Chains A and B, each alone.
Chain A
Amino acid sequence: MVRPKTPGRQRSDPERPLCPQCGTPLTEGEDCLHCLLALGMGLPDSTPLDGLQTDRYTILHPLGQGGMGEVFLAHDNALDRKVALKFLSEELQQNPCAEQHLLDEAKAAAALDHPFVCKVYETGDLEGSAFIAMEFVEGKTLRQVLNSRSFPLERTLSIADAIADALQSAHRHGIVHRDLKPSNVMLTPDGHIKVMDFGIARRLEAVQNAVGPVVPDWTHETSVQGSLLYMSPQQARGEPVDARSDIFSFGVLLYEMIAGVNPFHRDTPEQTWQALLAADYPPLTSPSGRLPKGLDGLVGRMLAPDPKDRLQSADQVRSTLTEVGSQMAARQSGWRKWVRSPMRLCAMLLVMVALVVLGLYLGGWSAEPPQTGIGRSDNPQAQAAFVEGHRLLYLRTPASLAEAARKFRQSILKDPEFAAAYAGLAVSQILLASYGIRAPEEVFPEALRVAEKALELDERQAMAQTALAFIRFSFDWEWELAEEEFLKAVELANNDPDTLRWYGFYLATQGRMDESLQLMHRAQNLDPRSWLAIVSLARCHYLRREYEKAVGVYQKALALQPEFRPAHLGLGLVYLKQKKLQLAAQSFRKGLAGSKAHELLAEAFQQAASGDSPSDIEADLQALRAESGQIYLSPYFVAVYYLALDQGQSDRAFEWLEKAFQERSEHLVTLRVDPIFDDLRSDRRFQDLVERIF
């Protein structure tokens, strides 16, 4: 084995060495279990293939992993365009016969040329690994957007019409999809759809059947349950399929878009399989209670268990969809007239987009709320609202934080002497600003007022004391006073992970990195499964310029809470420092969400990372930020964007840093230590800014 050229492992604890890759304490003589288990979760998201060149393509980064193999974003050097390279799975490559069948099928699919079908370009080989080159489609899968919710009927019908159009074209070419399901339908940013993997995905199973026994693949959940939920009865029985099999799968998908649930979802794959064969599903209903005449009948005919009783072609589905749409439109003409006003339509769409975006943050694993700050009111309603607010606070999503604040207000109304409710309200306000949901100046003044009120009612209210310390430091920029308040908080809640993390963050902004790291580790040890503690530790590594460690720790947090925006943003900053622009842009795309301004900035990062000449976003960004009711976009990230550009536009960066100063952006508290500004430190304007803050 070639030995590493890096210096010896660092030790935070003399008894246990740390993993050089992720920083986790190791047991001597044992491999890093953390790194190895991470591989089972598809981490790290960078691979040795990033940047690798073939004759024609430069591989950029992985896009995802499916049952069939792994997909990478690549640049087609010959035609100067982005493409997706789908590498066939290891198991498939070990079966040359199956591999060849699949590649032949891909070549047949390459004949398809339709605006709603993802185009297959060619097949190729990289150092013995076969791949299929196909159109790169940006956007989200229908699965991602659909999760646990139904679609508005109008949108459902328009998506269904586009899918029917794609199927119609493919079936005319004699190509059957075989695996139509929400994760194979992409919704592009411009509102179109693309059906992916025509003729390829399910073909895999067919060729495996032909050349050997069916090998159960339990390694990817989607391979069994995910596909099974959309299989036609013929497929489930292992019989040959034709276009009518796609009609059945399409029926399942349509049902799910309307009802918000899959008709065949059962507790086990076996029960699902039985339900599919019997076409046993609950009657179609829409959560809105609105079900246009004819839609139920259409879905029923698509889901007929016997192919002979089913609608026979995608053409028939399309014409029925058109009828349903027209009848619905006729009955709702009054409503349509209202919507026809462009301003109203625009407003409605914005609300819908905002709801979808906010909804995406809901759910997921969450840390258990620590018990610090738990108070008790004699008023049962005040107590109930407080407990609910406390629970919501620790979900850390935009929606839950806003709702938590509402609950704490309710609690205060019921019991105006309830100190813990005031403290909860202060913390929720702080977090709304810290996570970039509300502008600091909108929330901090109230946060200060209620934190002080809490302490007036109960001077030992630890959560309020921590909140007060955080406000002194993060908003008031009263550094010495802040530390005094933090020390009081630590005295009150020496074992509270939040208090330790926040104080640790304060110490990092003061350049006291070792003390900070120590506290972050302690916070994590107190609450080892909290992604919040992990994110704080990652940020600490970033500020210490330990980028590899920071990446590993951020990824660890994201493995636990994939939608946590601050972790994506933090990871983006680390990647920027590592000059991994594509990965940075990818992280910013996940982290910068919630408003048009966020999306514009994320898009600009992507453009800059792709090497395209960046468009001037300044005017649009200013206008979008000024729109009322928008989720707050910190000027800090705009400044970071200008610094990340190839030629580094420091003048613009300073303009936005000045805005950040005016708006008292929390991110400025790290100004003296934030690596992202290292190139600006000698600039007089930067020094002036530092002097005004510290």
Chain B
Amino acid sequence: MPHDSSKPNPPRWFATTRWTIVLAAGDRHSQYSRQALETLCGTYWAPVYSFVRRRGHSVEEAQDLTQGFFARLLEKESLAAADRQRGKFRNFLLSSVKNYLANEWDRSQAQKRGGGTIAVPIDAESAERIYRPDQVPQDNPEKIFERRWAAALVGQVFSRMRQDARRAGQMKAFEHLKGFLTGEAVGVRYQDVAAELGLSEAAIKVRVHRLRRRFGDLLRQEVAQTVQSPDQVEAEIRYLFSAVE
């Protein structure tokens, strides 16, 4: 039982996701953990922007506030003081932006903090396109945030899949088969796709199956980057699944 352990360092794979790196850094905020946080913020800026917009800020204000928010977030002191008990990056980001808006809503404050420092680049045009206020007018800011979060996550997975396909010279096949992931291809016959791609129907079925599995795996990997432990991955996906109604 109790045994004199030499207390060696655990394998490095215990803390290899971006959010665990950020959390593990604690007060010893390093360049490494800052990069991890920057990457996460770069992926999930759109939910923050949409949240700010739905809180009633104009396009310009929302851009400034979002920039200011990320600049503040990436400051060493701010992160060290952040509440990290919630476990998930999504919760952390949402509560942080709420606090920020409550305390830092003034545009001049935002500019003071964010002005001149572009922590997370935001493309104004695409930000508005992603926000799409006309589509779900009944959604509150939190709901919009969750929806945009799920969309950012899915977008990240598609982006990785496209990169893989491009690298493997399989872009044409990917574009043909992508619809089988999204429901867009309901009613499309495998044999028709097979004819277009010059493959057998069985080969198409295997590819579609593998593509779905690959999407699922990458999605779980992306979610894992934002949570504190592996057992939160499934719960997080389920949460988002029910949040995107």
Contact = CB atoms under 8 A, between A and B. Distances in A.
Contacts of B8: 237, 277
B186 A41 contact: no
A367 to B, nearest CB: 11
Given A6-B187, A21-B186, A556 B213 contact: no
A4 B185 contact: yes
A238 to B, nearest CB: 7
B3 interface: yes
Contacts of B190: 48
A273 B14 contact: yes
Contacts of B13: 214, 216, 224
A524 B238 CA distance: 17
Interface in B1-60: 1-8, 10-11, 13-17
Main secondary structure of the interface of B (DSSP, over half): helix
Contacts of B151: 30, 33
A238 B15 CA distance: 17
B209 interface: yes
Nearest to B6: A277
B225 to A, nearest CB: 9
B241 A38 contact: yes
B62 interface: no
A487 interface: no
B184 A49 contact: no
Most A Cβ at <10 Å: residue of B4, B206, B233: B206
Interface string B201-241: 01111111110111111011101100001110110011011
B14 A559 contact: no
Contact of A2 (B6, B147, B192, B234): B192
Contact of B10 (A3, A273, A305): A273
B101 interface: no
Given A27-B136, A36-B154, A216-B16, A41 B237 contact: yes
A270 interface: yes
Nearest to A39: B216
Contacts of B229: 225, 268-269
B123 interface: no
Interface stretch (A125-133, A243-251, A577-585): A125-133
Interface in B105-136: 132, 135-136
Interface string A141-160: 00000000000000000000
A148 to B, nearest CB: 14
A63 interface: no
A281 interface: yes
Interface stretch (B65-73, B78-86, B173-181): B173-181
B147 A33 contact: yes
B189 A5 contact: yes
Contacts of B3: 278-280, 305
Interface-centre pick from A3, A48, A529 (highest chain B CB count, 10 A):
A48
Nearest to A283: B1
A35 B183 contact: yes
Most buried by B among A16, A218, A278, A300: A218
Interface in A616-674: none
Given A31-B154, A47-B212, A305-B3, A6 B230 contact: no
Given A5-B189, A35-B181, A37-B219, A269 B14 contact: yes
A280 B2 contact: yes
Interface residues of A, number: 76
Contacts of A32: 182-183
Given A42-B216, A300-B1, A16 B135 contact: yes
A40 B147 contact: no
Contact of A5 (B4, B188, B216, B233): B188
Contacts of B214: 90
Contacts of A33: 147, 150-151, 154, 240, 244
A36 B17 contact: no
A135 interface: no
A305 B2 CA distance: 10
A40 B213 contact: no
A300 B1 CA distance: 8
Contacts of B175: 1
B11 A214 contact: yes
Nearest to A3: B188
A126 B205 CA distance: 11
Contacts of A270: 10, 14-15
B218 to A, nearest CB: 8
Contact of B215 (A29, A39, A128, A225): A39
A218 B219 contact: no
Contact of A41 (B17, B192, B205, B234): B234
A508 B216 CA distance: 36
Interface string A22-62: 10110111111111111111100001110011000000000
A524 B217 contact: no
Contact of A219 (B1, B212, B217, B244): B217
Nearest to B217: A219
A281 B241 contact: no
B1 to A, nearest CB: 6
A76 interface: no
A661 to B, nearest CB: 39
B238 to A, nearest CB: 6
A31 B215 CA distance: 14
Given A16-B135, A273-B10, A280-B1, A5 B187 contact: yes
15 contacts: A4-B187, A6-B187, A19-B183, A39-B215, A65-B213, A89-B217, A127-B203, A216-B16, A219-B217, A219-B233, A221-B230, A237-B8, A270-B15, A278-B3, A280-B1
Q: Which 8 A-B pairs have the closest CB atoms?
A: A21-B183, A6-B187, A4-B187, A216-B13, A40-B219, A278-B5, A218-B224, A48-B205
Given A2-B193, A269-B230, 8 more contacts: A4-B187, A33-B244, A36-B182, A36-B215, A52-B202, A269-B14, A274-B10, A560-B242
